[in-house]
Structure 1
């Protein structure tokens, strides 16, 4: 995740990693069966061979191995291409029970057409994600970095037309979304009214995007890590403590991990899951690393 990423460890010095005060913008409810998921952003990571994946297994088996090791994925593939329902169903069938995809909206909708004349791509996208069936988690709409609240008329029309039965979150990146201005507040209020979530970005140099404003009970956190730097540990602990404090107010928590070239993503997911068990006594699916050259999947 390049958004808010520090180019050097020196830039991390002196940063405040504390989570801001939480603002609950949806009617308070009591939930008793919180589901927590963690995972990465793709499964085509060659350095995972021999640790996350059996070293000799071909690439075509990696989705199944990924599903055995992680509980969710930030499904960026759908940002670059709208896949057929058949292909989406194929991926869903590869994953075990309990796995959830978090598909990213196609860029043709959010970045290129900017919500203009998007009926066709939107219909095709919905058909695709519906094919994931029970494996479909919240889908998230990432706005372009320069998309400000003053441009939000078409966004408002778009989210008002989105099917309410499909969980949707919006990721804001322009700084004016977080400054309390009238145009921004209009969208925030609408999202709360419609039950649309707001993605939380935990990234070093854009702490404003760590807004902690909850407009729905399903939470997506995009975590930008620094390859095992001490700040990663601090931030994981902060998140587990936050979940513990708010566990009765939320239904689901998807913790989507970004690390440099994804090499350390598995270990970060393991660390997060261990802290969840220590703090919350909740088991979170995470990788079991090995040094095994044998395959655990039958294939021709």
Structure 2
């Protein structure tokens, strides 16, 4: 079986406290993405969760990275947190008006759900059906925050529609399960202690590196992101993991 691809990065790249830690101190922020892309081949776009970027902004981003670089934008919270996946047609259309023009640079779309959103088969089936029939050119990854999703029916639906289950590692009790529901495996490191503000030691990273190698050997494409962005912890952890995976 052909070895699967491995993509490792961080949940965004534009953090002021990375200046002097990762980004050279005198480097203007307009050059940060290009510099980041010298070290990593992917990043999440966290800002799209709060407000959609202008099309020109997305085009500018795509022009600052190599051809093989992938952005994984987070779906708008208007759809996930306010509409709770119901009546998704209009917000999905607006989202892809921005990202369709840079499709060659887009990896899996991250759909992060709120902790209050319980599993509902009818709503989820309708939403996944839209993804399959209208946005079949894209891959999707679903991050749940409510334990009601940890059931066989929900996982069967994800497998049916080839939506990746996001494996969320955290120290705060986000639902954790290593469900492999699609060709893509999407993994997020949120911090082993305090959310976003704690550091993974080498022992824990080595533990996951062994899993990742096994999954890649089985042919899965891996998308791995560090969301512990404070003080550049995520950068340090991501670079360490790349070394462990022999891709740095």
1:1-300 equivalences in 2 (<5 Å): 30=1, 32-149=2-119, 151-162=120-131, 163-178=135-150, 180=151, 185-206=152-173, 209-226=175-192, 232-259=201-228, 261-277=230-246, 283-284=247-248
Partner Cα distance (1:265, 1:201) in 2: 15
Task: Quickly say closer, same or farther: Cα 1:117–1:193, change in 2 above 3 A.
Answer: closer
Instruction: Please give the per-residue CA displacement for 1:168-199, whole angstroms capped at 9, x wherever unaligned.
Output: 01111101212x3xxxx333212101111111
In structure 1, list runs of 5 or more residues that go unmatched.
Answer: 1-29, 278-282, 285-300
1:272 Cα deviation after fit:
0.4
Whether the aligned pair in 1 keeps the contact of 2:17 and 2:230 (CA below 8 Å) is no
Whether the aligned pair in 1 keeps the contact of 2:189 and 2:227 (CA below 8 Å) is yes
Partner Cα distance (2:23, 2:240) in 1: 19
Instruction: Please give the per-residue CA displacement for 1:84-115, whole angstroms capped at 9, x wherever unaligned.
Output: 43321221111123211111110011111112
Partner Cα distance (1:224, 1:234) in 2: 17
Partner Cα distance (1:169, 1:68) in 2: 26
1:252 Cα deviation after fit:
1.6
Residues paired across the two proteins, number: 241
TM-score by length of 1: 0.74
1:131 Cα deviation after fit:
2.1
Q: Report which structure shows greater RCO (CA 8 Å, sep ≥6).
A: 1
TM-score by length of 2: 0.88
Whether the aligned pair in 2 keeps the contact of 1:40 and 1:262 (CA below 8 Å) is no
Partner Cα distance (2:160, 2:224) in 1: 24
Whether the aligned pair in 1 keeps the contact of 2:5 and 2:216 (CA below 8 Å) is no
Partner Cα distance (1:91, 1:61) in 2: 10
Specify the alignment match of 1:293 in structure 2. Answer: none
DSSP-derived class of the 2:142 partner: strand
